[in-house]
Amino acid sequence: PDIPYKLLGFHPQFYMSDFPPTSKKLALSCLEMAKKCGLKNVDIGNKHLLI
């Protein structure tokens, strides 16, 4: 539970252009779920990529 856990925003480029970018809503939902599951050191990275 004390292990750092970083959620990364995704932006499609080149090979993976068929995947959508990460939404801010999804990132915040995942952050909340990780904390509810007992993870303590959770953060969102690449926040500038969230739409």
- Report H helices in 1-51: 24-36
CA pair distance 41, 10, nearest whole angstrom: 20
User: What's the confidence (pLDDT) of residue 15?
Assistant: 87
CA pair distance 25, 42, nearest whole angstrom: 16
pTM: 0.84
Number of structural domains (the chain) is: 1
Q: Which domain range does residue 13 map to?
A: 5-49
State the DSSP string of 14-27.
GGGTTSPPPPHHHH
User: What's the confidence (pLDDT) of residue 13?
Assistant: 87
- Mean pLDDT, consecutive 10-residue stretches, the chain (51 aa), reads 92 90 97 97 96 93
